[in-house]
A and B are shown apart, each in its own frame.
Chain A
């Protein structure tokens, strides 16, 4: 399953919001990818996500696959919205 978000933190995906995202998905079994500008990285990897250098306004797609993918997507969406990291597109 997939969902698309627009990043709205003023600095883009800096260490702090990235840490929140990665922590949110780390406990899940499902595989989860973050796709930005057609490049895909493991959302459980803080270095992978930060290496994307995502700027505010950047549109990212999160794609999860596995037994608990539904729950993962629900958690990650909640973190993105409630922590002011981005909004659903």
Chain B
């Protein structure tokens, strides 16, 4: 038995035999050519044959995945007609190089150029050029590219990386999962796996070297685990887990288009948390009522410098447009703590979670903060934008942040931009001081979003990164529940709404309590939306409210959990 781990990019479980996609041998020598005319013809013929093949693949892909997904092959065909590339190759051939070498030189130059770009999407396009160049090279060498379209039994594809042309040819009926050596969340195989709703684990680094063709494999796309030659017991465990997952998925799909309403008619909002633009698709697919938390820090990570206004605007706009009129809550930059940006050159701290982070940093480095606010305000006309500030501890902080926002809104108007006049401005409640004086904040903030992960760690004074004190991470601790109640009551007294965007919002035990307390919006990982909606539609809010008083008098988190299990969980 052998276990591998990679990046989990598409959910699900599959058990099947490994099908290793082996690349044909495309090695060649550099040769000096005297008859450059013949060499040019040889190259042109290889391009022509490649074009015919790509046209076929393009049609196949349109048929299988729809026009949108097949568009990539129209781009591939255009690469084969690209005058810049073709003439550069011709020049190389005319200098006396063989076509293979000329093609390799020129395509490598373009690949390097794309890989050096600071936009992830464009970097991934290097793979397209490589794919097309490989096809032409194969024809020059007279090597056949293997045909993957004739599978006869279920397989899990194992490859270094899946090229678009490989995946278009695959007979998807038999493909139960993907495992690759390289890639990330936006690589071709990841996107395709999510479209096909099959599990995928990428970035395993060694899968093609360690997994033998035909070996039995288990892939768990939820946590990125791969097991080769599993024991019978383990296989049985995964078969059960797979069946449970599939039953649940089937059962949950009926909730996709349903409204988020309790059994006795109280409407709530069940929203998704996102970190990247692409995450929106998953929220939409899972029938999310909105975005309850857009963590913008990921826009700032894995790069060398701050993202500029234009770049941020593009992302915010795309997210808002995809969500249409559904509420989209964007949290301004929450960096510091466990999330560092090397290029900001922040000094290391003894207590980073209590240190210079989030709004504290943004109010200090105003240029950076203003850029984000401007990008957000400009995007506001494309959807239903709400902005919130993280880590607010004092009213002065909230006022200062809001003042900057209003100032930039005015500046943009003076510059001639149209901006939405009804952007709600709210705040995260994650520091106990803010939770305790929520009534004072409620007069000035348009809404609250309770960040339970931090609220719990600050309330119980327990570092959530420290395993030795992990027992203190207690969402049901009476102090946490009382704080939440205080926040919700204070907001409602002032006619404001309250959301929750921590893990607790999707917690089966917490949900009945939160519903009873009057929480208006539950925001969670997109994959938990349908499950939560299923639970809430079965719960009646009014009978639950009768338990609130009793629950808040319980002494320990364990008592709360027991109480909920005994009295509030609907068994179906």
- Pair A42/B83 contact, Cβ less than 8 Å: yes
0/1 string, B74-114, CB within 8 A of A gives 1: 11001101111100000000000000000000000010011
- Pair B119/A53 contact, Cβ less than 8 Å: yes
- Pair A16/B314 contact, Cβ less than 8 Å: no
Q: Which of A11, A26, A48 contacts B121 (CB 8 A)?
A: A11
What distance in Å separates the Cβ of B58 from its nearest Cβ neighbour in chain A? 11
Q: Which residues 114-154 of B have a CB within 8 angstroms of A? A: 114, 117-119, 121-122, 125, 128-129
- Pair B72/A15 contact, Cβ less than 8 Å: yes
Residues in A whose Cβ lies below 8 Å from that of B84: 41-42, 45, 47-48
Q: Is B497 an interface residue (CB 8 A)?
A: no
Q: Is B71 an interface residue (CB 8 A)?
A: yes
Using a CB–CB cutoff of 8 Å, the interface residues on chain A facing chain B are 10-12, 14-16, 18-19, 22-23, 26, 41-42, 44-48, 50-51, 53, 55-58
Residues in A whose Cβ lies below 8 Å from that of B75: 15-16, 18-19, 46
Residues in A whose Cβ lies below 8 Å from that of B113: 51
Q: Is B3 an interface residue (CB 8 A)?
A: no
Q: How many residues of B contact A (CB 8 A)?
A: 31
Q: Which of B78, B82, B121, B313 contacts A57 (CB 8 A)?
A: B313
Q: Which of B83, B128, B322 contacts A44 (CB 8 A)?
A: B83
Residues in A whose Cβ lies below 8 Å from that of B21: none
In the complex, besides A51-B114, A51-B122, 19 extra interface pairs with C-beta distance below 8 angstroms are: A10-B314, A10-B321, A14-B121, A15-B125, A16-B75, A23-B74, A42-B83, A42-B84, A47-B82, A47-B84, A47-B129, A48-B82, A48-B84, A50-B114, A50-B122, A51-B113, A55-B314, A56-B318, A57-B313
Q: Is B317 an interface residue (CB 8 A)?
A: yes
What distance in Å separates the Cβ of B291 from its nearest Cβ neighbour in chain A? 16
Q: Which of B110, B129, B311, B322 contacts A55 (CB 8 A)?
A: B311
- Pair B122/A53 contact, Cβ less than 8 Å: yes
CA distance A42 to B81 in the complex (A): 13
What distance in Å separates the Cβ of B205 from its nearest Cβ neighbour in chain A? 28
What distance in Å separates the Cβ of B123 from its nearest Cβ neighbour in chain A? 10
Residues in B whose Cβ lies below 8 Å from that of A16: 68, 71, 74-75
0/1 string, B312-342, CB within 8 A of A gives 1: 0110011001100000000000000000000
Q: Is B32 an interface residue (CB 8 A)?
A: no
Question: Can you list 12 pairs linking A and B with CB atoms under 8 Å apart?
Answer: A11-B121, A12-B314, A23-B78, A26-B78, A45-B82, A46-B78, A47-B82, A47-B85, A47-B129, A55-B314, A56-B317, A57-B310
0/1 string, B375-402, CB within 8 A of A gives 1: 0000000000000000000000000000
Residues in A whose Cβ lies below 8 Å from that of B71: 15-16, 19
0/1 string, B393-433, CB within 8 A of A gives 1: 00000000000000000000000000000000000000000
**Nearest neighbor of A46 in chain B, beta-carbon distance:** B78
**Nearest neighbor of B322 in chain A, beta-carbon distance:** A10
Residues in B whose Cβ lies below 8 Å from that of A19: 71, 74-75, 78
CA distance A46 to B318 in the complex (A): 23
Residues in B whose Cβ lies below 8 Å from that of A50: 114, 122, 125
Whether A53 touches B321, Cβ cut-off 8 Å, given contacts A12-B314, A47-B82, is no
Residues in B whose Cβ lies below 8 Å from that of A53: 117-119, 122
CA distance A38 to B68 in the complex (A): 32
